[in-house]
Amino acid sequence: MADNFKVTIDNITIEVPAGTTILQAARQIGGEVAPPTMCYYSKLEGSGGKCRTCLVEVSKGSEKDPRPMPKLVASCRTTVMDGMEVRSCTSERVRDARAGVTEFLLLNHPLDCPVCDQAGECHLQDLSYEHGREGTRTEFTRRTFEPEDIGPYIQLHMNRCILCYRCVYTAEQLTQQREHGVLDRGDHARISTCISKALTNDFIGNVIDVCPVGALTDKTFRFKNRVWFTKPVDAHRSCSNPQCCGEVRLWMRGEEVYRVTARKDEWGEVATASNGETGWICNECRFEKKQVSDWVIEGPTVVNRHSVISQGQYAGNVGTRPGQPTLIEAIMGRKPKYLLDIHEVSGVNPQDKEFSRIPGPAHSDDFDKK
């Protein structure tokens, strides 16, 4: 058995096996100590080393060689040494470098969060909020691409892509044949398919889950609802595909299932399923099973309280436990009197329509009461 190494990250010392990267060690500590990542994905071989958002400062190389490393290093690619001391969120150099990397990633990224389906669960959005700067210093025109249909279920918005390569690794390692990849080089590099081929593999929908931005979107969900208006619920089914774990997260509003995704862990990666394997799901579970009757509901998903999605979360709040009064009843001491029906007054959101079942995006005409 390999010896364990002691490493200190932001004044917290832990013991990890030899060969552990700084990022993996920091994630064992958790919290703000763990550097942000945009390209690294622990479930995908070969990922990491491209975005440079996980830069850290090594103030002490090891017990045998205590000299600090002269430059910041990518924590996802640097293994720990015995006695190593690392500074992550406590380093001014690191914070300044991450701000620079964030500005670089946003150089060509469009300001379309109000119309992007990834808003509310976008890792780049979080990174920009934590490390971004106001405005941009570039005077050049941003590069633009037309939206591209790359399959019956997936649409590509190359304007938002940051070339993290996650989707390429997913298709390479999870599907029988990879139909898309990175074309051209330098500032002309882009994700696309060769000769307009379609992504139709049974597990190709997982590229939507691994994308950290809104570059790959679900055509069955886009423009139908905001993620913070839906409530995530854990569910499972007995899938006929032996490679599919059948354990998913349903995003519901009322009794309607608006979309189905794989379950995510605290790092935004596809979680490990109950069988010990990575919880990838097939296209049938993701795109075709949109009825509550298709699933065995386990309960509401536990959402981080700092997430915007938590505003629509009801697990553990006042009024959800059996035998407890609702919040408004507890405050008023009586049941509230409802004097009007908002649907009748506003003339929108008719009760006889299921917006999750509308083919394609929902438009204003769909919300008009007929």
- CATH code at position 64: 3.10.20.740
Helices (H), 61-220: 92-105, 123-131, 166-174, 206-210
Q: Write down the pLDDT at residue 351.
A: 60
Asked, for residue 342, whether it belongs to a domain, the answer is no
CA atoms within 13 A on the CB side of 295: 27
Structure tokens at 63: 């017990």
User: DSSP characters for 230-248?
Assistant: SEEEEEE---SSTT---EE
Structure tokens at 150: 């790359």
Task: Choose among 42, 46, 49, 44: nearest CA to 28.
Answer: 42
Residues 212 and 235 in one domain: no
Structure tokens at 119: 């808003």
Residues 297 and 211 in one domain: no
Q: Of 315, 335, 365, which residue is a domain's last?
A: 315
- Please report, for residues 31, 227, 245, the alpha-carbon distance to residue 252 in angstroms, rounded to integers and kept in the order given: 29, 9, 21
Helices (H), 33-160: 92-105, 123-131
Q: Write down the pLDDT at residue 76.
A: 94
Residues 210 and 231 in one domain: no
Q: In which domain, by residue range, is 49 found?
A: 4-104
Asked, for residue 81, whether it belongs to a domain, the answer is yes
Residues 29 and 84 in one domain: yes
Residues 8 and 84 in one domain: yes
Other CB atoms within a 10 A radius of the CB of residue 75 amount to: 30
Classify 359 as helix, strand or coil: coil
Task: Choose among 48, 54, 60, 89: nearest CA to 73.
Answer: 54
Q: Of 168, 201, 218, which residue is a domain's last?
A: 218
Q: Of 266, 285, 315, which residue is a domain's last?
A: 315
Give, for 28, the enclosing helix (H) or strand (E).
helix 22-29
Residues 184 and 234 in one domain: no
Asked, for residue 269, whether it belongs to a domain, the answer is yes
Q: Write down the pLDDT at residue 347.
A: 56
Residues 268 and 292 in one domain: yes
Residues of the chain falling short of pLDDT 50: 1, 316-326, 338, 370
Structure tokens at 352: 């006889």
Task: Choose among 173, 202, 190: nearest CA to 284.
Answer: 202
Residues 66 and 148 in one domain: no
Q: What are phi and psi of 99, to 5 degrees?
A: -65, -40
Asked, for residue 122, whether it belongs to a domain, the answer is no
Sign, CA torsion 217/219/222/225 = negative
pLDDT tens, residue by residue, 310-352: 876 655 443 344 444 445 555 555 555 545 555 565 555 566 6
Task: Choose among 17, 75, 22, 25: nearest CA to 51.
Answer: 75
Do residues 14 and 28 lie in contact, with contact meaning Cβ atoms separated by under 8 Å? yes
Asked, for residue 320, whether it belongs to a domain, the answer is no
Other CB atoms within a 10 A radius of the CB of residue 69 amount to: 15
Asked, for residue 354, whether it belongs to a domain, the answer is no
Residues 18 and 99 in one domain: yes
Domain total of the chain: 3
- Please report, for residues 180, 224, 256, the alpha-carbon distance to residue 27 in angstroms, rounded to integers and kept in the order given: 31, 35, 36
For residue 233, list its beta bridge partners: 250, 300
pLDDT tens, residue by residue, 188-221: 888 888 766 778 888 999 999 999 999 999 999 9
Asked, for residue 324, whether it belongs to a domain, the answer is no
Residues 166 and 211 in one domain: yes
Q: Which amino acid is at 248?
A: V
Residues 83 and 150 in one domain: no
Task: Choose among 362, 359, 210, 206: nearest CA to 285.
Answer: 206
Asked, for residue 370, whether it belongs to a domain, the answer is no
Do residues 208 and 170 lie in contact, with contact meaning Cβ atoms separated by under 8 Å? no
Q: Write down the pLDDT at residue 2.
A: 56
CA atoms within 13 A on the CB side of 136: 17
Residues 154 and 185 in one domain: yes
Give, for 345, the enclosing helix (H) or strand (E).
helix 342-346
Residues 296 and 43: their CA atoms lie apart, in Å, by 26
Do residues 106 and 99 lie in contact, with contact meaning Cβ atoms separated by under 8 Å? no
* CATH assignment at residue 205: 3.30.70.20
User: DSSP characters for 112-132?
Assistant: -GGG-TTTTS-HHHHHHHHH-
